[in-house]
C-alpha cells in the first residue's frame, strides 16, 4: 500500500537541518520523510518551501534562516554553486574535511561494518588547485563566451575566474577566447549542430609550468588555423603544445577520437613523486597534483614494499602509481583499457629508466583473469578504479591469485563499501584505518586509501 508523503508541493515549513547528503545538500526530516535542501548546513533552523515530492523523499528551497551554522562561510559567489563548480564553498574548510571523513564512516556503518576512518588529509590552500580545465564555449548575444553550465541545464554562465583552477589556466582561457573572437570563429550550437569550437581544454604542469591548449572542434580544420595557432603561442609563452581534437558527433561526450598536434609537442611533461610523466590530451592524469602526491605516497607506504615483491596495478593510466611502486618493488604489472594511456605509460617507464614494469591494454577484469591463468602470483595488488568501482570478476581473480595485500584507492565511498564486503567474503579483512584524502576541495568528492590483508 502506498503511503502518502507528509508534505505537499509549495508547502512552507520550519525545519532543522539534521545532516548533509553525499552531494552536500542539507537534509531535514518531516515525520521521517527526508527533504533535500541546497545551501543548508547541519544544525541550521530555517523556513523552507517544498519544490518537489517523490514517494520516498522530496526537495525544498531555503526561504529564510532563523539560525546559522558556525561553520557557514559568508560572502560566497553563488555562481560557483549554480554551476556546481564549488557546491561546498559555503561550508568552512575544516568542516568539509570532517564531512568527508563522516561520509565514509556513515556508509560503512549503514552496511553494518565497524571501521576506523582517519581524519581527512586536507590542503593548505583549498582553492586554485586544478591543473586541468575543460570549459564549454557558446555564442551568447552574438559573441563567443567561455564559462560553465548552470547545473542540470545547458545554459552557459560566462565565467573568467573558476575559483578552484590554477589562475594561470583561467587567464589562458580568457586569452584563447579573445583570439577566437578576433578571428570570428563561431562556437558550436548543439541545437542546430552547426558552428566550430565546442570546448577549450587547458592542462598545465604544476612543477614544469608547461601548458597545453586543446581546441575541441566540430570540424576537421579550424578557419584561419595557422594564424590562430600563431597568435595563441605568442600570447601564451608557457604553451608548449596546441592540439586540435575533432568531435563531429551530436553528443554530450566532450572529446572525439581524432587528435592532431598543431604546434609543439603532442604531450606536456610534469613530475609526480620525483618521476617525470608525459601527459597527452586524452590521457587521465590526476587534477590535484599536491594531493595526488599525498594519496599515492600513502598507497606506496601502505603496500609496505621491500624490493622483493611482484605488484599488479589495475587501472594504471599513464603509469603514475605503477612507476612510483616500481622504485620499491621487484616487478610491477600495469593494465588500462585506454590504449593511448598505455602508450604514454611505456614512454614514461623509459623516461624514468625503469625496466621492471610491464604494461597491457585491456579491461582490468579481463587482464586480471589472464594473469591469474598465466600463474602470476602478486604479493600486492593496487586498484584505483573509476567511480563505478570494481567488477566482481576482478575481485574474484584477485582473491584467486591470493596476494597478501590489496591496496584500494577509491574515488567513490559507496562502491568502496560494496567491494570491501565482497573481498571480506573471499577471505580479506580491512587492516588499519581508512585514510580519506581531499582531492577535490569545495566539492563533496572524497578519495581514500584502504588496505585489505589476507586472513
Q: Give the three-state DSSP class for 43.
A: coil
> C-alpha 79: how far from its chain's center?
20
Q: Which residue has the cell 609496505?
A: 304
Tell which residue, 233, 288, 227, has the closest CA to residue 265.
233
Angle at CA of residue 327, ends 322 and 332, nearest 5°:
40
Instruction: Count how many residues are written for the chain.
Output: 455
Tell which residue, 318, 335, 442, has the closest CA to residue 382.
335
Angle at CA of residue 208, ends 207 and 209, nearest 5°:
95
Q: What is the DSSP letter of 104?
A: H
Of residues 17, 121, 407, 411, which has the active-site annotation? Answer: 411
Give the span between the Cα atoms of 34 and 36, in whole angstroms.
7
Give the span between the Cα atoms of 362 and 315, in whole angstroms.
10
| Cβ partners under 8 Å of residue 366, min gap 6 | none
CB 279 within 8 A of CB 270: yes
> C-alpha 270: how far from its chain's center?
19
CB 213 within 8 A of CB 197: no
Tell which residue, 364, 260, 278, 362, has the closest CA to residue 318.
278
411 catalytic per annotation: yes
Integer-rounded Cα Rg, in Å, for the chain is 24
Give the span between the Cα atoms of 319 and 280, in whole angstroms.
13
Could you give phi then psi for residue 94, rounded to 5 degrees? -60, -35
Question: What single string gives the DSSP state of each residue in 186-252?
Answer: PBPBTTTTB-SEEEEEEEE-TTT--EEEEEEESSSS-TTHHHHHHHHHHH-TTEEEEEEEE--SSSS
Give the span between the Cα atoms of 393 and 370, in whole angstroms.
12
Give the span between the Cα atoms of 256 and 260, in whole angstroms.
11
CB 412 within 8 A of CB 439: no
Tell which residue, 397, 445, 455, has the closest CA to residue 104.
445
Active-site residues: which are they? 411
Amino acid at each position: 500500500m502506498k503511503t502518502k508523503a507528509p508534505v505537499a508541493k509549495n508547502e512552507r515549513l520550519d525545519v532543522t537541518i539534521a545532516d548533509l547528503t553525499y552531494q552536500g545538500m542539507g537534509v531535514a526530516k518531516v515525520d521521517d520523510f527526508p527533504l533535500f535542501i541546497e545551501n543548508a548546513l547541519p544544525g541550521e533552523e530555517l523556513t523552507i518551501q517544498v519544490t518537489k515530492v517523490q514517494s520516498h523523499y522530496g526537495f525544498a528551497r531555503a526561504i529564510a534562516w532563523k539560525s546559522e551554522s558556525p561553520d557557514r562561510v559568508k560572502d560566497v559567489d553563488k555562481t560557483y554553486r549554480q554551476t556546481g563548480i564549488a557546491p561546498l564553498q559555503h561550508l568552512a574548510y575544516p568542516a568539509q574535511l570532517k564531512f568527508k571523513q563522516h561520509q565514509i564512516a556513515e556508509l560503512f556503518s549503514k552496511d553494518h561494518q565497524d571501521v576506523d576512518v582517519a581524519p581527512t588529509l586536507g590542503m593548505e590552500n583549498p582553492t586554485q588547485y586544478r591543473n586541468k580545465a575543460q570549459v564549454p564555449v557558446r555564442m551568447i548575444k552574438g559573441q563567443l563566451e567561455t564559462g560553465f553550465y548552470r547545473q542540470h541545464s545547458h545554459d552557459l554562465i560566462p565565467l573568467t575566474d573558476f575559483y578552484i583552477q590554477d589562475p594561470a589556466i583561467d587567464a589562458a582561457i580568457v586569452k584563447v577566447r579573445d583570439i577566437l573572437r578576433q578571428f570570428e570563429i563561431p562556437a558550436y550550437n548543439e541545437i542546430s549542430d552547426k558552428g566550430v569550437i565546442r570546448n577549450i581544454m587547458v592542462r598545465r604542469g604544476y612543477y614544469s609550468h608547461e601548458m597545453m591548449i586543446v581546441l575541441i572542434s566540430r570540424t576537421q580544420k579550424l578557419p584561419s588555423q595557422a594564424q590562430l595557432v600563431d597568435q595563441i603561442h605568442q600570447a601564451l609563452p608557457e604553451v608548449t603544445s596546441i592540439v586540435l581534437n575533432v568531435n563531429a558527433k551530436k553528443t554530450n561526450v566532450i572529446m572525439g577520437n581524432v587528435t592532431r598536434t598543431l604546434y609543439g609537442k603532442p604531450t606536456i611533461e610534469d613530475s609526480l613523486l620525483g618521476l617525470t610523466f608525459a601527459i597527452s590530451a586524452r590521457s587521465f592524469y590526476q587534477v590535484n597534483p599536491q594531493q595526488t602526491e599525498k594519496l599515492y605516497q600513502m598507497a606506496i607506504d601502505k603496500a609496505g614494499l621491500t624490493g622483493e615483491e611482484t605488484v599488479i596495478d589495475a587501472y594504471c593510466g599513464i603509469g603514475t602509481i605503477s612507476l612510483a611502486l616500481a622504485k620499491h618493488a621487484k616487478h610491477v604489472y600495469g593494465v588500462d583499457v585506454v590504449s593511448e594511456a598505455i602508450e604514454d605509460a611505456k614512454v614514461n617507464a623509459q623516461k624514468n629508466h625503469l625496466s621492471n614494469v610491464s604494461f597491457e591494454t585491456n579491461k582490468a577484469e579481463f587482464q586480471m583473469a589472464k594473469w591469474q591463468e598465466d600463474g602470476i602470483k602478486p604479493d600486492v595488488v593496487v586498484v584505483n578504479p573509476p567511480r563505478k568501482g570494481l567488477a566482481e570478476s576482478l575481485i574474484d581473480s584477485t582473491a584467486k591469485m591470493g596476494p597478501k595485500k590489496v591496496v584500494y584507492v577509491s574515488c567513490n565511498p559507496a562502491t568502496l563499501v560494496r567491494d570491501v564486503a565482497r573481498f571480506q567474503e573471499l577471505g580479506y579483512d580491512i587492516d588499519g584505518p581508512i585514510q580519506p584524502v581531499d582531492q577535490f576541495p569545495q566539492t563533496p568528492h572524497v578519495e581514500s586509501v584502504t588496505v585489505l590483508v589476507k586472513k
